Amino acid sequence: MAELINGKEIAASVREQVRLEALELKKNTGVVPGLAVILVGDDPASKIYVGNKKKACLEAGFNSFEHILPAETSQQELLELIAKLNEDKSVHGILCQLPLPKHIDERTVIAAISPSKDVDAFHPINVGKIMIGDYDFLPCTPAGIMELIHSTGVSVSGKKCTVVGRSNIVGKPMAMLLLHENGTVTVCHSKTKDLAAECRGADILVAAVGKAKLITADMVKEGAVVIDVGMNRDENGKLCGDVDFENVSKKASYITPVPGGVGPMTIAMLMRNTLTAAKLFAKL
């Protein structure tokens, strides 16, 4: 039976470390980390995320700046707000909650955020830095996943790592981070010929596609470390991941639950990135 990787506990310890470092930063330089979150429209899930981020900022002793804009906000108005926040010295991190309304081009918006304030690490400059392994920020979810893997004591070096999903937010950067730690990485997607065979070879399996219980026990190697990034609803409307937890947990050595696995880590790493941005601003 697999050992549970407790994302809540690990995230709490990261956030406490961030809080202590933020206190130190304020004491030594007078700089208080500031995170500006922009939400365009009233997507219910996005509203919850924004609320959680505000709460995490307060806990960490950060300044939190919220900009809730109506869904009909034009792209130009959004870009003007970002330009203002880029210049604001009390703001060290800028996060624009995705998805954006259809009339706004996400790429243009991401590229408008100053790379030194891009705490999501989505800006093309930051993506390039991750590629070459010389970065200031890492995307929050993949960075959180690496923390979860490290918590097991399993070394990535030399292991076969399979990432299911190739999104810019999780799949692709995840593959790079595993590669940086000398994993042998396979990335699977909707066009992969034999997904089950690719997964079965993995010592470390990361599922990030958003399909409920896609990864079944017969696709998992005995003793694998299984990280479930999915957040779905099953046929009974109950929260579940991309992994059939009940059956896979009988074969894996370590597994993340849903909820309580990867989710809490994402916000913890966002706090860490904002602290890093504030330190860079303070020239530390």
Active site (annotated) includes residue 76: no
Q: Are 200 and 219 in contact (CB under 8 A)?
A: yes
- Best CA proximity match to 206, nearest among 166, 240, 233, 235: 166
Helix ranges (DSSP H) in 88-170: 106-112, 124-132, 140-151
The H or E element spanning position 61 is: none
- Residue 47: CB atoms within 10 Å: 14
Token output for 68: 């809730």
Which residue among the candidates 8, 17, 26, 97 is catalytic per the annotation?
97
Which residue among the candidates 47, 55, 118, 120 is catalytic per the annotation?
120
Which residue among the candidates 17, 42, 43, 53 is catalytic per the annotation?
53
- Best CA proximity match to 170, nearest among 197, 196, 193, 143: 143
Active site (annotated) includes residue 118: no
User: In the beta sheet, which residues pair with residue 67?
Assistant: 38
**How far are the Cα atoms of 54, 112, 134, 222 from residue 79, in angstroms, in the given order?**
22, 7, 28, 50
Active site (annotated) includes residue 97: yes
| Strand residues in 93-224 grouped as ranges (E) | 93-96, 160-164, 184-188, 204-207
Q: Are 186 and 198 in contact (CB under 8 A)?
A: yes
What is the residue whose two structure tokens read 């699977």?
A: 188
What is the residue whose two structure tokens read 């989710």?
A: 263
**Starting at the edge strand that comes first in sequence, how are the strands of the sheet with 63-69 ordered?**
63-69, 34-40, 93-96
The H or E element spanning position 156 is: none
Q: For residues 21 and 36, give the distance between their C-alpha atoms in angstroms, rounded to a whole number.
A: 20
Q: What amino acid positions are annotated as catalytic residues?
A: 53, 97, 120
